[in-house]
Structure 1
Amino acid sequence: MEDLKDLLPVAAVRLDVRAADWRGAIAAAGRLMVETGATTDEYTREMVANVEENGPYIVIAPGVAFAHARPSPAVLSTGMSWVRLAEPVEFGHESNDPVTLVVALAAQDSSAHTSAMASLARLLGDPGTAAALAAAPTPEELHAVLAGEPSEDGPEESAPATTSEPATASGPSATPEPATAAEPAEPRADSLHKILTVCGNGVGTSLFLKNTLEQVLDRWGWSRFITVEATDTISAKGKASEAVALLTSREIARTLGDVGRPVKVIQDFTSTAEVDAVLRDTYDV
């Protein structure tokens, strides 16, 4: 599996990009993947069509959109791009708009980029690293933050944290977060539980949410009792009976409808505190 720095070269990073609307923002991210040889222009159209069909579920956190589509012949190699906008744009998301960062993913399959998704989830979920990424003046310095390297200005930049607090405007210490509460007692070990994280395609936002959920399970010491599977909406309907719950965005929850298992909505896919609270509600702990 490839790391984030391998899938996201410096040439695929652009800062202070101007876009008229969300389609323009996705187009800017798509052009970078075309220029770096990851995709053809058709994949950019597929990313736009994904939002048109499924809604703005790709806006995974306040100000952050994760543009992607299904693996297709338009993907020449697994790759990513990073576009920081000069002015925010609206995607139509009821809680996470407006968007200032568009990260795009082109995946040839569902496995090659899982390590990169885990790294990205931790980076964006760590307030210090998120601030360093937002303030990086050049693509080279932003790429150094992504790679966990110290900046030229000193050692203050945060490397990816092993655990994360949600990146809020007031900072991680403004109010006690649910994730700081005592870890729940271990569940009964007579069966292995499954939780599904769901998105439109099963290769992007569902993997992102899976990694945030696994951070919380690791913190609780529950990882050996619960398996997490990232999947798409169609597969989720068939697999729902195997799961304790399904975690997803509001838009995808509407698409899923009643699947016979609790469908839990997560607004901020980078927030371990929000996922912690949803997990506590699911298991009544």
Structure 2
Amino acid sequence: MTELSELLAEDAIALDLTAETWEDAIRLAGGLLESTGVAEAAYTRAMVDSVRDNGPYIVLAPGFAFPHARPSSAVRRTGMAWVRLATPVEFGSRANDPVTLVVALAATDSSTHQQAMVSLATLLTDDELRARLDAATTPAEVHAVLRSENDHEADKSDQAEAPHDPPREASSSGVARTRDHILTVCGNGLGTSLFLKNTLEQVLDRWGWGGLISVEATDTVSARGKAKDADLILTSGEIARALGEVGVPVVVIENFTSQKEIDAALRGSYDI
């Protein structure tokens, strides 16, 4: 798996840029993908269109947006761009606006960047690392923090005590019967759903359930067909509305980096 610092080149990092709107913020990040040879202009347009079509589901945590689009011929290689905004911008996310950090992803497939996304989630939940990133004054300083990420662990204060027994029967308001499978869903099945999958798997591993419940990241179209084989779906509010009724509980997660929020959602769904 490729590490975050490998996918995010130093010249794809820009600090304290100005954006008037969320479209401008995404275009700034897309421009870095273009200038570093990761993607073409068509990919930047696709990232903007994805938010126009699906809403601000890419705003995954307070102050953080993760624009991306489906793999296409406009992506030359898997890579990322990092933009810290001088002034926060509203994306339309009730829970997580305004945004100050925009990290864009362009991927050729759904596998090479998974470890980088685990690292990114760790950065966003580690108070010490996030403070160092916020204090960085140059792209070189940001990149140095990214390279040092492997020496740190995620903030444990966001974790709750783990249950001991795996789920078998759930509450009447939650899972009707257990299939030991959970879907995480986003518009493209590539970026935010993988981000949520990573955090969910960290919770399951901490509980000791990692080998008992499988997690699959997918897109909205595929999720409708796969729902019958799942216990539940975790997703954003925007994608939940787009999915509609799929025959299994759809649980909205506001902060995709919060193990505590996902822990509570699982407990409620499985009546723990």
- Common fold by TM > 0.5: yes
% same residue: 60
Picking from 152, 155, 169, the partner of 1:164 is 155
Q: Hey, what's the Cα distance between the residues in 1 that align with 2:216 and 2:209?
A: 15
Q: Hey, what's the Cα distance between the residues in 2 that align with 1:160 and 1:100?
A: 23
Q: Hey, what's the Cα distance between the residues in 1 that align with 2:196 and 2:104?
A: 16
Q: Report the TM-score when normalising by structure 2.
A: 0.93
Q: Cα RMSD between the aligned structures?
A: 1.7
Q: What's the offset of the Cα at 1:160? A: 3.2
- Matched residue, 2:207: 220
The answer to whether the 8 A contact 1:240-1:260 is kept is yes
Following superposition of structure 1 onto structure 2, how do residues 96-135 of structure 1 map, counting pairs within 5 Å? 96-135=96-135
The answer to whether the 8 A contact 1:164-1:272 is kept is no
Following superposition of structure 1 onto structure 2, how do residues 206-217 of structure 1 map, counting pairs within 5 Å? 206-217=193-204
Give the letter aligned to residue 9 of structure 1.
Answer: A
Q: What's the offset of the Cα at 1:215? A: 0.7
Q: Deviations over 1:61-105 (max 9, x none)?
A: 000000000111110111100000000000011110000000000
Structure 1: segments with no counterpart, 5+ residues: 150-157, 166-171
Q: What's the offset of the Cα at 1:112? A: 1.3
The answer to whether the 8 A contact 1:194-1:244 is kept is yes
Structure 2: segments with no counterpart, 5+ residues: 169-177
The answer to whether the 8 A contact 1:12-1:32 is kept is yes
Picking from 193, 200, 203, the partner of 2:190 is 203
Question: Displaced runs of 4+ in structure 1, greater than 6 A?
Answer: none
Picking from 227, 231, 238, the partner of 1:251 is 238
Picking from 150, 158, 165, the partner of 1:185 is 165
- Matched residue, 1:93: 93
- Matched residue, 2:261: 274
Change in Cα spacing, 1:42 to 1:182, as seen in structure 2 (3 Å) is: closer
Q: Hey, what's the Cα distance between the residues in 2 that align with 1:213 and 1:227?
A: 10
The answer to whether the 8 A contact 1:30-1:43 is kept is yes
Q: Secondary structure at the match of 2:66?
A: strand
Q: Hey, what's the Cα distance between the residues in 2 that align with 1:230 and 1:118?
A: 14
Q: What's the offset of the Cα at 1:192? A: 6.0
Change in Cα spacing, 1:182 to 1:205, as seen in structure 2 (3 Å) is: closer
